[in-house]
Structure 1
Amino acid sequence: MPLYEHVFIARQDLSNAQAEGLIEHFGTVLSDNGGSVVDSEYWGVKTMAYKINKNRKGHYSFLKTDAPAPAVQEMERLMRLHDDVMRVMTIKVDEHAEGPSVQMQKREERDTRRERR
């Protein structure tokens, strides 16, 4: 099955438990349609570059999935209809990176940048 990575932003006035509950909810939608969640991460409340629906901050969540295209389309459709989800982005990838995403790594653990000239 194809591999996908999803990032979605939920409203800032949700609690952390409610935001993490959204991850579980959309994971069950995938599993009901023949897919599976390989890994999920809750990135926390972050400030956005611009306001979305009068919100300056949002709960960011990240999902790595292994699912057929119809399951992903159904999950995206439900995300767009859900009142608490403000934005959704889905990317098809060749393989999932091992370990935590760059967003969850500490600065010291990330690869060093090359020097500017």
Structure 2
Amino acid sequence: MRIRDYELVMVISPEADDARTQAVVERVHRLITERGGNLLKQESWGRKRLAYPIRNYKEGAYFFTRFQADAQVSRDIEQTLRVTEDVLRHLLVKVE
């Protein structure tokens, strides 16, 4: 099991209130730490206008997380974010 660095950016629906937004972010962070990963950096980039509408939304709340974990954790995060309705888009990349 090899530990790698990852960066995750999530765009969360503007309809989600602060509590729901924080719940999504906390769920991802909990998933990382419960499976032996380390959170390195967490930032809220705030609400920004989208380049194009996604599900008829023109803006979203952006969140950035940098973490260390094994490949299975990254697959679990991808699967979780795909089925989370409040997440409009996400991008998870391995940092070389």
Using the size of structure 2 for normalisation, the TM-score is 0.90
Separation in 1, partners of 2:70, 2:48: 31
Q: CA RMSD in A?
A: 1.2
**Which residue is equivalent to 1:105?**
none
Per-residue CA distance 1:53-99 (angstroms, 9 max, x = gap) = 111110100000101010111011101100100111011113xxxxx
The amino acid across from 2:29 in the alignment is G
Q: How many residues align?
A: 94
**Which residue is equivalent to 1:25?**
27
Q: Which ranges of structure 1 fall in alignment gaps of 5 or more residues?
A: 95-117
Q: Is the 8 A contact 1:23 1:40 kept in 2?
A: no
Percent identical residues:
28
1:85 to 77, 80, 87: 87
**Which residue is equivalent to 2:52?**
50
Instruction: Give the C-alpha shift of residue 32 in structure 1.
Output: 1.9
1:60 to 41, 59, 62: 62
Q: Which ranges of structure 2 fall in alignment gaps of 5 or more residues?
A: none
The amino acid across from 1:52 in the alignment is I
**Greater strand share, 1 or 2?**
2
Of structures 1 and 2, the one scoring higher in RCO (CA 8 A, sep 6+) is: 2
